Amino acid sequence: MAATVNVDYNYRFASMLLAEAPSKRQLRLATSGGAEKNPHFFSGRFKSPKQSADLLIALSAISRTRFFSPSELQARMLAAADPVVTSDGDQLRFEVFSVCCGTYARLDLRGNGLDGDWIGKGTTNVDFNPPMRAALSSVMNSEKVGLRIGADGVELERANETVLERKVKLPVRWLKGFVEVQVYQAGLRQAIELPALELAKIIRTLPKQNFLQAGVITYLVPAGKSVRLSQREAPGAIAVGAISRLKTLEPILRYAKTVRIYDSEDAVSAFELTFDEGSFFFVMSPNAARGFSGEGQALASFAQSSSSDILGRVKSALAWQQKIDPVGLSVSLNVDKELVHNALQVLGSRGLVGYDLSTAAFFHRELPFDLTLVEELHPRMKKARQLVDEKSVRLVPGKEGEYEAYVKGSSGDHFIQVSQDSCRCTCDWFAKNQGERGPCSHILAAEIAMQAEDAK
């Protein structure tokens, strides 16, 4: 049985699309959690109601999608978690993570798409119940649609009788993935920008996602003004794992002007659909059968020795910034820029900052979940700590800035080499993944032991 974390959603009312007058409705999103219990962020209206409604529906659909369903799991579908919304006083960011933990989506609605009052800043969950979704899908272009995220005290008083409580067991792997994906995004680089229609043409040729294609990497190769699909890596080719997952974007591509595609060396890819009033991000793991939770990119951050002092100082400098400037922060905190960046990575892996691909910068948001368990329950991290506790790690000094270690494993001693640029281990898991899915438990154990040694 997978480890889970209990999350209590405590909405003071059910989200709804309220009819105020003919052709005038208001989307009232109930909030739960965050710094306040039921925060109130925004009150105003959408400038493009239909487009915004369809984007929110698409986002919500991703949060309920399982792109990979191993047969043994089909019967026990996991509870989908409600979207997370962050208000920074100028834009709203809605974030979701798919049930299979392999895709992350975010809708940024900028200030120019909204007209109204910014009441509060913060991060919270919003209720996306089926009747609300159904009503949202009926929004027409000719309508005026208001938006309220949260409610003020008086309204909450009135709504007291219709408290909506849901207790959800969120899998730890889901939470792990949610934080892991931020670290991954920080490593992505923009590869190409296309007219949205060109991506639509590609998507229509894709077969339906099936389990056989879960691990297949397909490449988007620049061809003229567009791209074509290829199965072979080539200079300039963008690697996309289980590419059929892009079909999810098909219904909203018609609103997009351009598509920016981001890629990385480890086949994590991201697609940003740009609109006049915001962006829609869709980040995919390299393999549909492998969620971000299993990748372990944040593990290095967990094991890292970013001093708690620096971490604390960077954390205290967070004030719902849209774009955190590591250089500015390093000057104001009088800390090396590299250390600030490392600290932001660690904060990302603790759900305290997200990463915005379009600005290539972290932004402040605090996931409304208890993330302490993420680190505690990560199997590799847990095992690494156990190895250290059992004194199964023997460190051997290496050259300047390098060290070696022997770590006891289930099949003999594993030989570990750690340098500034790379680390490697003789275990099967590392041999198979070559660090693509983060460090193995033996490398983590060696790093923890090394830090303990340094601390002495």
Partner 1 sequence: MIASALDEIIIAADETRCEDFFRGMKEAQRKELAPRALQWASALNGFVNRERPQFLVFDKDASGDIEFYRSIEQGKIAFPNDFKEQSFPVARMAVLATANFPEVKKFGLKGLPAPKVAARILVDRKPTWIDKWCALVLKESTGTHWLALYRLEKEGLCKIERNSSYWISMLCGLSDQELFSELLSEDASLAEEVWQMLDDAGVARALAEPERIAHEIFRKRWNSGGNIFASMEVATRKGNNVFHESLIQMVERNLLDKDRLIEYSFNSLSVIGEAEAKRSPYQSVSEADFSMRLNKELLNGAAAPFANRFASLLKAAHKDVSTYASTVLIEMPMESLSVEDVCAEIGPAFLTKSKEPAEAALKLLSCLAKNFPEKRECYGPAIISAFSHSSKDIHKKALSLVESTKVLELPEVFSEFTQRVDMIQGMERAKAMALAEKYKNTSEGALGSSSDSAASSSASPQFPTQALSSIDEAEILERAQTVDDSLRTLSCIDCAVEAYKAQTVCDTPVMLDSLNFPRLNPATAIKPISSLDDLIYMFMKVWSGKCTAMELECVLDGVSRLCNERPSDFQQKTDALRQKAELRDQEFSMVGWTGTLAQVAASWVGDSRAADATGKVIVADPSSIFARRCLSLSKRIVSKQAAPLLCAPTHAGGWIDPMVLVKRINEYFWIKLEPDKVDFIQALLRIAPDNRTEALEAAASIKGEIGEALRYALGSGMGRVITPEYWVAAFRARDPKGTNGELGKLLPKFGPDGHEPAIYGFDLSEVSAFANDRFASQGGLPNFLPVMSADPDFPISKAAQGSYLQTAAQYNARMACRNRYALFPTVLLHDNAVSWFAGSEAYNWLHNRESLLALYAKRMLLNIESVGSYWHGDFELLFDPDISLAENGRYFLCFAMSSKNNDLSRLAVDALIAAVAERRITAAGYGEAMSQLLPTGVITAVRWTRGLRDMSRTSALHAWFVWQSVGILIEKAPINSTQQIPFLELLTEIQIEHGFKIHEALRTQLSKISGSGKAAKLAKTMLSGKSSLNGSAETLASLQCLQARVERCERWQIRSSIKVEQIV
Residues of this chain that interact with partner 1 (CB under 8 A) are 50, 54, 57, 61, 130-131, 133-135, 137-142, 197, 200-201, 204-205, 207, 212-213, 216, 218, 223-224, 228-232, 250-251, 254, 396, 406, 409, 411-415, 417, 424, 426-428, 430-432, 434
What tokens does 330 get?
């390093």
Angle between helices 326-333 and 308-316 (to 10 degrees): 110
Considering the complex, state which of residue 69 and residue 358 has its C-beta at the smaller distance from partner 1.
69
For 447: left if phi > 0, alpha if psi spans -120 to 50, otherwise beta; the answer is alpha
Considering the complex, state which of residue 142 and residue 334 has its C-beta at the smaller distance from partner 1.
142
Considering the complex, state which of residue 230 and residue 451 has its C-beta at the smaller distance from partner 1.
230
Considering the complex, state which of residue 201 and residue 382 has its C-beta at the smaller distance from partner 1.
201
- For residue 337, the SS3 value is helix
Q: How far apart are CA 216 and CA 199, in angstroms?
A: 19
CB of 99 to partner 1, least distance (A): 13
Q: How far apart are CA 334 and CA 330, in angstroms?
A: 5
CB of 251 to partner 1, least distance (A): 5
Considering the complex, state which of residue 232 and residue 456 has its C-beta at the smaller distance from partner 1.
232
Considering the complex, state which of residue 153 and residue 207 has its C-beta at the smaller distance from partner 1.
207
CB of 376 to partner 1, least distance (A): 28
Q: Closest Cα partner for 176 from 307, 370, 31, 9?
A: 370
Secondary element (H or E) of residue 406: strand 403-409
Q: In this structure, are residues 57 and 133 in contact, taking their beta carbons and an 8 Å threshold? A: yes
CB of 296 to partner 1, least distance (A): 17
Considering the complex, state which of residue 86 and residue 98 has its C-beta at the smaller distance from partner 1.
98
The sheet carrying 393-397 orders its strands as 393-397, 403-409, 412-418, 423-425
**CB burial readout 178-192, b (16+ within 10 A) else e:** bbbbbbbbbebeebb
Residue 231 C-beta-side C-alpha neighbours within 13 Å: 3
CB of 442 to partner 1, least distance (A): 10
What tokens does 1 get?
């049985």
CB of 307 to partner 1, least distance (A): 31
CB of 236 to partner 1, least distance (A): 14
Q: How many CB atoms lie within 10 A of CB 119?
A: 17
CB of 119 to partner 1, least distance (A): 30
Considering the complex, state which of residue 179 and residue 220 has its C-beta at the smaller distance from partner 1.
220
Q: In this structure, are residues 221 and 243 in contact, taking their beta carbons and an 8 Å threshold? A: no
What tokens does 205 get?
């040729």
